[in-house]
Amino acid sequence: MPKLGADMTVGTVVAWTRQPGEFVRRGDIVAQVDTDKGVIDIEVFATGVLEQILVLPGQTVPVGTPLATIRETGAPEERVPGAWAGPPPAEAGVAPQAPQAPPPPLPPPASAFGAGAVARAGHQPAASMAQPEPPGGMPVSAQGPPAAPARLRISPSARELARALGVDPAAVQGTGRGGAITREDIQRAAAQRAGALGRPRAEEAAAAGQPSAGAPATQQPAPGPSQAGPAQVAPPQLPPPQVAPPQAGPPQAGAPPTAAESPLAAAPMARGVQLPAEERAARMRQSIAAAMSRSKREIPHYYLGTTIDLHRAVTWLAAENERRTVTQRLLYGALLIKATALALRDFPELNGFYMDGRYKPNEAIHVGVAVSLRLGGLIAPALHHTDRLDLSTLMERLRGLVQRVRGGSLRGSELADPTITVTSLGEQGVELVLPVIYPPQVAIVGFGKVVERAWAVEGQVVVRPTITATLAADHRVSDGHRGALFLAAIDRLLQQPESL
Amino acid sequence: MSAPEATHRPGQALLSGLPREALLERLREMLRIRRFEERCAELYTQGKIHGFLHLCIGEEAVAVGAMRALRPEDNVVSTYREHGHALARGISAAAVMAEMFGKANGCSRGRGGSMHLFDAQHRFFGGHAIVGGGLPIAVGLALAARMRQEARVTCCFFGDGAVAEGVFHESLNLAALWRLPVLFLCENNLYAMGTHITRHQSQIDIARKAAAYGLPGQAVDGMAVLEVEEAARAAVAAVRAGEGPRLLEARTYRFRAHSMYDPELYRSREEVAQWKQRDPIDLLAGALRQADLLDDAALAQLEGEVAAEIDLAVAAAEAGPWEPVQDLLKDVHSPRFA
Amino acid sequence: MPTTMTYREAVRAALAEALRSDERVLLMGEDVGRYGGAFACSRGLLEEFGPERVRDTPLSEATFVGAGIGAALGGMRPIVEIMTCNFALLALDQIVNHAAIMRHMSGGQFSVPLVIRMASGGGRRVAAQHSNSFEGWFARLPGVTVLAPATVQDARTMLRGALREPDPVLIFEHILLYPVQGEVDEQADTDIRRAAVRRPGRDVSLITYGGSLPKTLAAAEQLAAEGIEAEVIDLRCLRPLDTELFLDSVRRTHRAVVVDEAWYTGSLAAEISALIMERAFYDLDAPVARVCSAEVPLPYAGHLEDAALPQAAAIERTVKEMMAGHG
């Protein structure tokens, strides 16, 4: 039964116009077949004797079923070698051979709208049927399969936060629309619990969790002014090896507060989520080892350093902080980060990623701020669009970041997005930092401690606060000349603190 | 409307004016298209070719005659019944057959299939399967040629069905208004799929529609290759000379069904048989025999050459690679700023 | 050196620049020449560049768009103006079945570097046949780039980027934006595929484009007065979407409202909502909300038209409802 259209699956023989034993030529009509579209003549593509009719009038068969056999005679030039599949060379079926195997099936449709051709999980039937997994691969329900009585009304983000903070959402009263539990409810619950336990620094959580009336801004994980003093959160500090959190796990698994340090850690954690502290520390150490080994193996670092006079910056900062409330005060670390971010605008070769053998500058500037963990290890999450943040916002974000590093509520994007890293080890008392680039970034800026030095100004020796800024950069992407100009640009910006 | 009577023979001028080799070449081209399409029909029933397959068997004289009037630098815009146009334009049988198979060595890299043959090298701007869709594009190609002061003519094929589309009228109007170098070539095979021209046109003399837009229109016997060629040459010359567009209507007939899956409920076997009396291949072969320019041996030799080429084309299509599925999204956009 | 001009003047300056800087560029469409353009966007161009390059066409949308395709194939860089997107439906076949797919269907042989501009949107009391927003329909098409310049700056500079694209670009200019004044840096180049944060904020992401941007910014100002800091994102390019930019915003704010003048059903807003669901679900603290047009052909009477279209007040209300219970 020949296939005559893409939508033809079966045909019914209506009549044979030629009989067995008759000689038929290529192109002759031998039968009529009834299809969904009507009766169609069937021609043969071989010349010879119609030997045997296999499908009688009235019979319906699928396409591909042999209808008759032809014993070919002569006309060799009309034969198509290999045209028929089954029968031996002397016998050719009127019906065609089975259609050739089509190309392998298509992949699931890729994104139609997105800029890249990124497949969207939601378009894959398998994925859409399965329970969605959060980024990081944690099971949605830590409680096991849902034999759930009444389903909890809780926002996806709040559910994640509850898990991270160890809050049991079932015990939380929701204040969102329709009684839904929101992030804020979880934060409040965590803070109340911490307060009840009377642990130190409970006020931090409380500040995050208790919004003042009419201040929706406190929806941010840690947006509100923290009661924590500057010394507790900044300047960010950490040892030179810059590293990401363990790749396998979500941020909270990699940045755990210790029981002794965090009021939250004392609370029962969602089951099945937290690893033992030693295990977490070991994993973090492994991933630091992997990243730094790769960095030292693959990246030809070059190092530059310069000492910067901070007199203007410190003076301006003191005056500025006079005008601010305690919680709004700026730290000089914020100036260093902002100056670095602004300087980067003119140095795209230091702000981006080296991947797959080529460098891709990143238009947006997301400075990663290295934060050391008390348990050991470190994380360098991003301050998004650092160059566009005013100092107050930058400071606020910085505080929030440090808090969240300790609270374990970093977002995936904060960890993946840094386009460059800044590390400061001044608090530890060192003057010079020679940092290691965190791949696939291509540069890292280090700041040592603020040291009062004898400094020559217009022929006079004066005492000035100074800081040594260093740059480690990837020689595959930039050269020392540009690196030097970059450090000089940071210096220049720090001489005009009011314009930061 | 029945087949035009072959009483007058304007093609005689070419018959007497062209050398034997050139005449045999035209016969060979028509045979090549005919045999190619017959093989396509066979391969379709075997499941090697998929989708729609529209054969132009019976209409070969239009493709061959018109293409002979064009130069390599001219543009061609075609329809979904365009195997003949593509082959006569010079696209290799292998590239067209591989496209039918959906292979990566097809002339559209397997993205187009039977109805969407493209070839940049031959300035073949597509088989288009939206009836009438190619006409405005042809007008634009002609506009570009005019503005760039290139001596290109754009030849746009379409069927009688397209004459009922609004873009036919819009395109003739715009091309005439701007005096653009387009040859509008209507292959009138009397049927818009299954609807006879008397059932879809109030004025069945298509050539006369040109008058409404102020451009010359002419009808020609589409079964006589030399007549088509002669008329096309005259029209192309006028277009190239800057006289504005021309409409040429070639009256022809398709011997086979609209597509493979068509029981032909709309026409009688007698009508088909009557038209087959004026098979364009037989007409030319007969004339050549009468003039002692063709004998059985010469014809057999032509058939042999054609069969060999088609065998090779099928082999190339069979052997051609499937495009890897990971390249699925290729060519949706150009590589940026390439 | 920034200069001040209207959106309309910006479009005109962009067209003039295009015609001046590339002799392959031509402008064609209904009344673009003598009349100066239905929205006066091409006034003076016929005089400067002549009738060969600034072409008045008959009222034949399918054919002059198709001619644009052909001219692009033939080596020109045509800019076709369709008076409004309502009339683009007459050319839908040429855009959808030809321009968008020719490169792919020809196996990469024939690109169509064609720019089609059209006005879109409602709010002028001209009733249903002249008030449609069809951007979202066209943004469904693989093979085209769809732009919606919402600022005077973008009206001035996006065309430059569009003409650099090797494939078809559709530009939708909201009718109500033409008289808007703004500052323009003539030299600024803009990456046409990037969305922009028009107003930073931390509490909710308002995602919009085109003629809805001013309304959304107005709503954001109102909200700020009440202590809600809304981040306003101007998509600029509707295909391909700068997905990462708005997802990044939603991941920071945990809330999203999409403002789109098209109808709700099957809209671009629906697509954006789906993308957020697929890729930022666990960052959400509230369901994504949409402010779109009521499912009605836009009525003539002003009070009814206003009620049908997204307005700043509705955006504000939607955000507040979303924030309910959050101080």
pLDDT in tens, chain B (338 residues): 444 444 445 567 777 789 999 999 999 999 999 999 999 999 999 999 999 999 999 999 999 999 999 999 999 999 999 999 999 999 999 999 999 999 999 999 999 999 999 999 999 999 999 999 999 999 999 999 999 999 999 999 999 999 999 999 999 999 999 999 999 999 999 999 999 999 999 999 999 999 999 999 999 999 999 999 999 999 999 999 999 999 999 999 999 998 888 888 999 999 999 999 999 999 999 999 999 999 999 999 999 999 999 999 999 999 999 999 999 999 999 986 44
**CATH number of B107's domain:** 3.40.50.970
Q: How many residues would you count in chain C? A: 327
ipTM score here?
0.93
Contacts of A43 in chain B (CB under 8 A): 41
Q: What is the pLDDT of residue A40?
A: 84
Q: Which of A216, A223, A384 sits opposite C327 (nearest CB)?
A: A216
In-domain check, residue C101: yes
Give the Cα separation of B96 and B116 in Å (integer). 10
| Pair A200, A238 in one domain | no
Sequential DSSP letters for B165-222: SHHHHHHHHHHHHTT--EEEEEEE-SEETTEEHHHH-SS--GGGGGGGGT--EEEEET
Name the residue among A196, A156, B141, B7 with its Cα closest to residue C254: A156
Q: What is the pLDDT of residue A8?
A: 80
| Pair C103, C249 in one domain | no
Q: What is the pLDDT of residue A123?
A: 40
Nearest CA to CA, how far is C73 from chain B (Å)?
7
Say whether C130 is catalytic: yes
Contacts of A153 in chain C (CB under 8 A): none
Q: Which domain holds residue B68?
A: 12-316
Q: Apex CA A95: angle with CA A89 and CA A97, to 5°? A: 65
| Nearest chain B residue to C57, by CA | B174
In-domain check, residue A99: no
Contacts of C71 in chain B (CB under 8 A): 140-141, 143-144, 147
Measured N-to-C along each axis, helices B166-177 and B134-147 cross at an angle, to the nearest 10 degrees, of 10
In-domain check, residue B336: no
In-domain check, residue B76: yes
Contact B47 A8 (CB under 8 A): no
In-domain check, residue B330: no
Give the Cα separation of B130 and B136 in Å (integer). 12
Which pLDDT tens digit goes with each residue over C266-319?
Answer: 999 999 999 999 999 999 999 999 999 999 999 999 999 999 999 999 999 999
| Pair A374, A458 in one domain | yes
Residues 97-126 of B with CB under 8 A from C: 106-112, 116, 118-120, 125-126
Which pLDDT tens digit goes with each residue over B131-155?
Answer: 999 999 999 999 999 999 999 999 9
| Nearest chain A residue to C237, by CA | A115
Contacts of B108 in chain C (CB under 8 A): 105-107, 109
Give the Cα separation of A128 and A130 in Å (integer). 6
Phi, psi at residue A306, to the nearest 5°? -150, 150
Amino acid at the residue A263: P
Give the Cα separation of B100 and B93 in Å (integer). 10
Amino acid at the residue A67: L
| Pair A271, A402 in one domain | yes
Structure tokens at A155: 């926002």
In chain A, how many domains are there?
A: 3
| Pair C169, C29 in one domain | yes
Structure tokens at B73: 């630098």
Helix (H) or strand (E) holding C66: helix C61-73
Chains that touch C (3 or more CB pairs under 8 A): A, B
Q: Apex CA C103: angle with CA C99 and CA C104, to 5°? A: 110
Report whether the peptide linkage leading into residue A134 is cis, meaning its omega lies within 30 degrees of zero. Answer: no
Give the Cα separation of B59 and B36 in Å (integer). 13
Q: Is the model's pLDDT at C121 over the cut of 70?
A: yes
Q: What is the pLDDT of residue A144?
A: 42
In chain B, how many domains are there?
A: 1
- Residue B324 sits at the chain C interface (C-beta within 8 Å): no
Phi, psi at residue B302, to the nearest 5°? -60, -45
Q: Which domain holds residue C229?
A: 196-322
Give the Cα separation of A403 and A397 in Å (integer). 10
In-domain check, residue C218: yes
Q: Apex CA A135: angle with CA A134 and CA A140, to 5°? A: 20
Residues 49-68 of B with CB under 8 A from A: 50-52
Give the Cα separation of A39 and A96 in Å (integer). 19
Residues 6+ apart with CB under 8 A from B112: B99, B106, B118, B126, B127, C105, C106, C107
Measured N-to-C along each axis, helices B20-45 and B280-290 cross at an angle, to the nearest 10 degrees, of 150
**CATH number of A260's domain:** 3.30.559.10
**CATH number of C173's domain:** 3.40.50.970
| Pair C252, C210 in one domain | yes
Contact B126 C106 (CB under 8 A): yes
| Pair A175, A238 in one domain | no
Give the Cα separation of A237 and A235 in Å (integer). 6
Q: What is the dihedral of CA A73, A76, A77, A80, to 10 degrees?
A: 90
Q: Which of C73, C102, C108 sits opposite B330 (nearest CB)?
A: C108
In-domain check, residue A202: yes
Mean pLDDT of C91-119: 97
Give the Cα separation of A267 and A271 in Å (integer). 12
Structure tokens at A405: 């590093």
Contact C67 B136 (CB under 8 A): yes
Whether the CB-CB separation of A347 and A339 falls below 8 Å is answered with: no
| Pair A209, A246 in one domain | no
| Pair C140, C241 in one domain | no
In-domain check, residue B227: yes
Q: What is the pLDDT of residue A407?
A: 67
Between C74 and A204, the higher pLDDT residue = C74
Of C141, C161, C184, the residue at which a domain comes to its end is: C184
| Pair A206, A238 in one domain | no
| Pair A168, A238 in one domain | no
Nearest CA to CA, how far is C137 from chain A (Å)?
12
In-domain check, residue B332: no
Residue A302 class from Cβ within 10 Å (0-12 exposed, 13-18 middle, 19+ buried)? middle
| Pair A278, A200 in one domain | no
In chain C, how many domains are there?
A: 2
With a cut of 50, which residues of chain A have pLDDT below it?
75-148, 198-274
DSSP lists the bridge partners of residue B154 as B75, B182
Size of interface B-C (CB pairs under 8 A): 153
Of C184, C217, C235, the residue at which a domain comes to its end is: C184
Chains that touch A (3 or more CB pairs under 8 A): B, C
Of A48, A63, A93, the residue at which a domain comes to its end is: A93
| Pair C107, C208 in one domain | no
Residues 6+ apart with CB under 8 A from C253: A219, C201, C202, C203, C204, C205, C231
| Pair A241, A346 in one domain | yes
In-domain check, residue B205: yes
Name the residue among A226, A242, A223 with its Cα closest to residue A234: A226
In-domain check, residue C268: yes
R_g (Cα) of chain A, nearest Å: 36
To probe the interface with A, which of B31, B43, B45, B323 has the most A CB atoms within 10 Å?
A: B45
| Pair A339, A486 in one domain | yes
Whether the CB-CB separation of A437 and A303 falls below 8 Å is answered with: no
Contacts of C66 in chain B (CB under 8 A): 133, 135-137, 139-140, 167, 171
Name the residue among A38, A250, A61, A39 with its Cα closest to residue A163: A250
E-assigned strand segments in A191-300: none
Measured N-to-C along each axis, helices B134-147 and C61-73 cross at an angle, to the nearest 10 degrees, of 50
Give the Cα separation of C226 and A29 in Å (integer). 84
In-domain check, residue A121: no
Give the Cα separation of C127 and B319 in Å (integer). 60
- Residue B304 sits at the chain A interface (C-beta within 8 Å): yes
Name the residue among C36, C108, C28 with its Cα closest to residue C76: C28
Of C157, C184, C211, the residue at which a domain comes to its end is: C184
| Nearest chain A residue to C199, by CA | A388
DSSP lists the bridge partners of residue C146 as C170, C239
In-domain check, residue B300: yes
Q: Which domain holds residue A454?
A: 234-499
DSSP code of A372? E
Amino acid at the residue A329: R
Contact A4 B260 (CB under 8 A): yes
Sequential DSSP letters for A140-156: S-TT-S---SSPP-B-H
**CATH number of A40's domain:** 2.40.50.100
E-assigned strand segments in A244-392: 301-309, 352-355, 358-361, 367-369, 371-372, 378-379, 382-383
Q: Please pick, among C130, C173, C271, C305, the residue that the annotation labels catalytic.
A: C130
| Pair A284, A387 in one domain | yes
Q: Which of A27, A38, A96 sits opposite B47 (nearest CB)?
A: A96
Residues 133-152 of B with CB under 8 A from C: 133, 135-145, 147-148, 152
Contact C285 A155 (CB under 8 A): yes
- Count of Cβ atoms closer than 10 Å to residue B112 Cβ: 25
To probe the interface with C, which of A120, A157, A186 has the most C CB atoms within 10 Å?
A: A157
Q: Apex CA B73: angle with CA B69 and CA B78, to 5°? A: 65
| Nearest chain B residue to C240, by CA | B333
Residues 19-38 of A with CB under 8 A from B: 27, 35, 37-38
Q: Which of A5, A27, A106 sits opposite B325 (nearest CB)?
A: A106
Contact B148 C167 (CB under 8 A): no
Q: What is the pLDDT of residue A115?
A: 37
Give the Cα separation of A190 and A192 in Å (integer). 5
Average pLDDT of chain C to the nearest whole number? 96
Residue C43 class from Cβ within 10 Å (0-12 exposed, 13-18 middle, 19+ buried)? middle
Give the Cα separation of B167 and C98 in Å (integer). 14
Name the residue among B247, B249, B251 with its Cα closest to residue B236: B247
DSSP code of A241? B
Contact C73 B330 (CB under 8 A): no
Q: Apex CA C63: angle with CA C59 and CA C67, to 5°? A: 125
Mean pLDDT of C71-89: 97
Say whether C186 is catalytic: no
Give the Cα separation of C71 and B309 in Å (integer). 36
Q: What is the pLDDT of residue B86?
A: 98
In-domain check, residue B329: no
Q: Please pick, among C61, C135, C231, C316, the residue that the annotation labels catalytic.
A: C61
**CATH number of C216's domain:** 3.40.50.920
**CATH number of A193's domain:** 4.10.320.10
The model scores a pTM over 0.80: no
In-domain check, residue A119: no
In-domain check, residue C191: no
Contacts of A107 in chain B (CB under 8 A): 325-326, 328
Q: How many residues would you count in chain B? A: 338
| Pair A181, A258 in one domain | no
